[in-house]
A and B are shown apart, each in its own frame.
Chain A
Amino acid sequence: MKIVSIAILGKKNNPLYVYVSNEENKRKFEYIIHTSLDFFEEKVPLISPLSKKSTQNQNDMYLGHLFPTEDYKVYGYLTNTNYKLVCIIDDSEIKEQEMKTLLNNLHTILVDTICNPFYITDEPITSKTFHLKILDLIGKK
């Protein structure tokens, strides 16, 4: 399973961070990420304020497989604060649980970076530590 690209988008859909494993295809991946934005809105579960489902938990943020493209699969994750995490992989075999874990970890890394008092919210993430953590996360997979 190869993670080809990871992106983090802000509340106004502005890109905060984009990682691509292959620099040549960067444009293509950015295009795919842009396309995935529509799917975020489609897939957001309609939560009725009156329902008292006790099954609501953290993984309501995980939106799952968004849409297929020729060679890739795109997965999305929407946080409660409207940060969108997008992950593009090129393999066809991946367990849902693995992807959920990956995106959860990505969320955790994002939260750590946001807590930095010198990070200005909604600005692109330039922190080296963040980048290293992402590489680490991908490396594990």
Chain B
Amino acid sequence: MSKLYTKLGESAWTKVDKINSEIFTLTYGEVVNSLIQDYETSEEVNAQLDEMGYSIGIRMIDEFLAISEVEQCKSFRDTGEILAKVACKMYLGVDAVCKYWTEDDSAFTLELKTNPFVDFVELPQKYKDLWYCNIICGIIRGSLDTLQISVDVKYQKCVLRGHNTNEIRVTLKSSNKENSSKKN
């Protein structure tokens, strides 16, 4: 199943338009800078980034389903795999993995070894509580929400904070499984 998703991810990656990574990174950097000037504290900026991501996610999910042609997921586990192998590949060009599943498959950690958002970036001391890429958490939350899957998404580790990898924890809150988790 995993191989299928990897293949889908790669074919989706070839189908989409690409953009120069520097313009993307620099633009995102300015977005974060601008938010910091408006909101000043790291917690508020984190919350704003999450909201922005949510707004992006609810729109992105339709495009994703159309381009990637994934089938309906049978379980949250499939959801996680598709998120890692197809969505991350398609939108960020990175190969992510799902790890640390709980016993009942209700939560997992998404690990991204590389992240195009953080090229060149160094977090200054006064913003050490900032989750720079929190927008990704919002995007995941927004897309899954549109599919009636309610999740809690939080950043666990970030390379900008000195960790060696990026980790996002996704926890299932509830889902209308009768409608069947068409996953993002």
Contacts and interface: CB of A to CB of B under 8 A. Distances in A.
Interface in A72-124: 112-113, 115-119
B25 A118 contact: no
A113 B121 CA distance: 8
A58 to B, nearest CB: 18
Interface SS majority for chain B: helix
A127 interface: yes
Nearest to A128: B122
B123 interface: yes
Contacts of A128: 122
Nearest to A119: B122
Nearest to A129: B122
A116 B25 CA distance: 9
B36 to A, nearest CB: 9
Interface residues of B, number: 14
A115 B122 contact: no
A117 to B, nearest CB: 3
Contacts of A116: 29, 120-122
B122 A118 contact: yes
Nearest to A127: B122
Contacts of B122: 116, 118-119, 127-129
B43 interface: no
A132 to B, nearest CB: 11
Interface of B: 22, 25-26, 29-30, 32-33, 119-124, 127
> Shortest 10 CB-CB distances between A and B: which pairs?
A117-B29, A115-B120, A116-B120, A117-B33, A118-B124, A116-B122, A127-B122, A116-B121, A112-B120, A129-B122
Given A117-B120, A118-B122, A118-B127, 16 more contacts: A113-B120, A115-B25, A115-B26, A115-B29, A115-B120, A116-B29, A116-B120, A116-B122, A117-B29, A117-B30, A117-B121, A118-B29, A118-B33, A118-B121, A118-B123, A128-B122
23 contacts: A113-B120, A115-B22, A115-B25, A115-B26, A115-B119, A115-B120, A116-B29, A116-B120, A116-B121, A116-B122, A117-B26, A117-B32, A117-B33, A117-B120, A118-B29, A118-B33, A118-B122, A118-B124, A118-B127, A119-B122, A127-B122, A128-B122, A129-B122
